[in-house]
Structure 1
Amino acid sequence: MNPQLQNALIVSIMLGYGLMEYATRRYKDTVHASADDTKLELFMFLSLLAIAQPLAILATNKLCLWLLPQHLGALADLPWWGMVLILLVGDDFTQYWWHRLSHSPLLWPLHRAHHTAKYMSIRITYRNNFFYYLMMPGLWIGGVLVYLGLGKVYGIYIVVKLAVILGAHCAWRWDEPLYRLPALRPLMWLVERTISTPATHWAHHALTNSDGVGHYKGNFGNLLFVWDLIFGTAHITRRYPAKVGLQDDLLYGQERWYHEMFFPLLQSKREHSALTKGGRAYAEAETQADAPRAAA
């Protein structure tokens, strides 16, 4: 895809979702961001565009030219659907596992920032730790696949993927009215089992699992929700959690944006923080036990 066309489509998708957030008043009514929220989201978005993505593409190209010069464009003659299948495995499948592993004690500090927002919006889509994207396997594999000749479909793939993941985080829940239309029930049954939707992804951001809607230990799919179905981490309710965010932030206060973005280089001094040496994520049972003490 022509880079100018790709960028135009990406900007149009972002503007479209943003306008719907405002037009439906979902942004005004639900997005109450602090200054730290805004700084973290802005700087992470810029760092992804200016550092992580270009570095992955350029570095893999240089490495492949050095190590695999004879394989430049080796897959360029594959049919488009073959290229798409390779990208889905090399990028989206690996991202499912990267996301899932990022909820483990070892990698949680690099992903925690994505869950500290107390709201859902397209603005939190790339809210993460600086090193989260630098270490994401899919970015580097994508660079290798472009070198091997998949560049002509990679741009289209990225546009489609962006449309899905922005929609899954959007304050405007595009799937909500569609569930109410009887004629669309078969289609929506298929859609919600194929791609990430607001209903399934909001559940992943839920403040609690106790309401039967929240499922922050599953629904890890990025573009495709199929991976969650295959590996037993899917939870489909067609409902949305009442609140999103993290329990320990409610108890001990929000972390500073620079600790969330630059851990482990910068470490938190907050009580019971995962962003410090030896720190760990709080389990829901622990936060519920501590709630009366914190409120006293």
Structure 2
Amino acid sequence: MNPVQNIVLATIILTFAVLEVASGRHRNFHATADDTRLELFMFIALIAISQPLAFMLTGKLCAWLMPDQRGAWSSLPWWAMTAILLVGDDMTQYWWHRVSHTPLLWPLHRAHHTAHYMSIRITYRNNFFYYLMMPGLWISGVLVYLGFGTVYLVYIVVKLTVILGAHSAVRWDEPLYRIRWLHPLAWVLERTISTPATHWAHHALTNDDGIGHYKGNFGNLLFVWDMVFGTAKITRRYPAKVGLQDDLVFGKERWFVEMFYPLFQSRRQHSVLARGGRVHAPSEVDADGAKAC
């Protein structure tokens, strides 16, 4: 990452962290030591290993396969670059996220849903291989090689701000629903970008409350993809609880199992993080056999 970008991103993260602490919502996290280890190590792994590795390898491959194309698209207007990034990175991440809720890839994404609290700290809480295999990261590396560098820096800052805001314990969209004259703005925003209300629903412990929607609301930066591909649910409400049902029954997985599966596997009685494992209750399995989370 560019040093300036790192400073900007650190400032954004710190701002959200201060807001969470100032609001007092951090007192409701009750995070375990394993939660903290998983979230910290995954964040470090993403910025120190996964993204740099993807960009380095794509740069080398592009230099080998198409050496004359370095910076070839740099003359495109910024809005065209942004549109290409929204499709090449954000839309592909929507589909990667959606596919990660199927039996094959669920073990790589499950960790993101095991937190029983919403906070910026869970934003990049996933399995190590989840980001390493994410298509949008590699596509972005190619686009940077083609000359999108400066626009990408701005784009990724905006995207991170939206994603952090969607996971934040501070529900910044709540006033938009409470204050009547802000309703038109709320209507536009909740259909355009991910918000706490729509994304918290994706993390809900259950769908039974009419709010939870863990088989939809997959958008990261843009919620537009959910609107277009039929997975959107907008209630302007927040689930009372988030997390996974099977963790409540059998206890949480160890942090290193969640982060490094399949290199480490669960010893729990019922777990999708064990060879041939599955969740314990048929009622918690969707038609495809994936954990409904």
Fold conserved between structures, TM > 0.5: yes
Match for 1:134: what amino acid?
Answer: L
Match for 2:76: what amino acid?
Answer: L
The match for 1:159 is 157
The total of aligned residue pairs comes to 285
Asked whether the 8 Å contact 2:82–2:155 carries over to 1, the reply is yes
Asked whether the 8 Å contact 1:80–1:153 carries over to 2, the reply is yes
2:12 is aligned with 1:13: yes
Match for 2:21: what amino acid?
Answer: Y
Asked whether the 8 Å contact 1:6–1:159 carries over to 2, the reply is yes
The match for 1:199 is 197
Q: Partners of 2:176 and 2:281 in 1: how far apart?
A: 34
Match for 2:219: what amino acid?
Answer: G
Q: Partners of 1:35 and 1:5 in 2: how far apart?
A: 32
Q: Which residues in structure 2 correspond to 1:87-236 (within 5 Å)? A: 87-236=85-234
Match for 1:206: what amino acid?
Answer: A
Match for 1:123: what amino acid?
Answer: R
Offset, 1:285? 1.9
The match for 1:294 is none
* Residues 8-60 of structure 1 deviation map (CA, whole Å, 9 limit, x = unaligned): 221111111111101111111x2110011011001101111110010011110
TM-score computed with the length of structure 1 as normaliser: 0.94
Match for 1:46: what amino acid?
Answer: I
Asked whether the 8 Å contact 2:176–2:185 carries over to 1, the reply is no
Secondary structure of 1:48 counterpart:
helix
Match for 2:118: what amino acid?
Answer: M
Offset, 1:250? 0.5
* Residues 198-254 of structure 1 deviation map (CA, whole Å, 9 limit, x = unaligned): 000000000000000000000000000000000110000000000000000001110
Q: Partners of 1:276 and 1:269 in 2: how far apart?
A: 7
Q: Partners of 1:50 and 1:4 in 2: how far apart?
A: 13
Unaligned runs of 5+ in 2: 286-293
Q: Partners of 1:269 and 1:8 in 2: how far apart?
A: 41
Q: Partners of 1:3 and 1:64 in 2: how far apart?
A: 20
The match for 1:42 is 40
Asked whether the 8 Å contact 1:196–1:225 carries over to 2, the reply is yes
The match for 1:3 is 2
Asked whether the 8 Å contact 1:218–1:235 carries over to 2, the reply is yes
Asked whether the 8 Å contact 2:211–2:238 carries over to 1, the reply is yes
Asked whether the 8 Å contact 1:105–1:280 carries over to 2, the reply is no
Offset, 1:275? 0.1
Asked whether the 8 Å contact 2:217–2:223 carries over to 1, the reply is yes
Unaligned runs of 5+ in 1: 288-296
Match for 2:99: what amino acid?
Answer: L
Match for 1:13: what amino acid?
Answer: I
Offset, 1:4? 3.4
Offset, 1:183? 1.3
